Amino acid sequence: MFILSRILGLSTLAHALSTSYYFVIMVIGVAGAKGSFSEEAARKYAKKYLGNKPYFVEYLVTSEKVLSELEKGKINLGIFPIQNSTMGVVEEVVYAMSRHIFKVQRIFSILISQNLMVKKGMSSKDVKQIVSQEPALLQCKKFLSTKWKKTPKKNYSDTAKAAEDLALGVLPKNSAVVASQTAAKLYGLKIIARNIQDLKSNATSFIAAER
């Protein structure tokens, strides 16, 4: 199923203005903010399975929101994580799945590289808390428990959302965030430790869901 969308004002779709004022576009909802691993998964899915078909990514942050919007028909496809090679099944997603009706269109995996980042001008000695989504923190449990054993860990709704909020000043400037290299670049953060996941071949399986 596709949604008829107006492209006027959508800078990411400006290239289509030369051919048509209206055209058909697929809306993909992801369980993450801009720069999240769910967005990365969605773009890899689109490249492999959608070909040249136009699409738009809707950043819905949580799997609950993705499935809710999918059930209402507000998005055409939902992308969310279901299992990780380090920590197993994502419990939050299982609960969300139990509350909604949908079809599993495809299950696919991508490699996940976690990174520790801070605001520019800050260093590791300034860090007073480490913030990220719980699955990301668990994927880096060994690293965090050895090098940052006494530093408090704070669960957040999404890795990329934590990065964004650190950059915007929503989180204290002495926070460090676990997120993707894409998020660090997007929000202007400095990576102080790369590839900190416990398993170097750290893979997450994602569900592509439809109505």
Domain ranges of the chain: 3-112+202-210, 115-193
Looking at domain 115-193, does it have CATH number 3.40.190.10?
Answer: yes
State the pTM of this model.
0.82
Q: Is pLDDT larger for residue 31 or for residue 88? A: 31
Mean pLDDT of the chain: 89
CATH architecture designation of domain 3-112+202-210: 3-Layer(aba) Sandwich (3.40)
Burial 5-42 (b: 16+ CB within 10 A, else e): bebeeeeebeeeeeeeeeeebbbbbbbbbbbbbbbbbb
Q: For residue 90, what pLDDT is reported?
A: 84
Dihedral angle sign, alpha carbons of residues 16, 75, 166, 118: negative
Q: For residue 185, what pLDDT is reported?
A: 97
Q: Is 210 exposed, middle or buried (0-12, 13-18, 19+ CB in 10 A)?
A: middle
> Average pLDDT of 3-24?
45
pLDDT at residue 152 greater than cutoff 70: yes
> Average pLDDT of 93-111?
94
pLDDT at residue 148 greater than cutoff 80: yes
Q: For residue 22, what pLDDT is reported?
A: 44
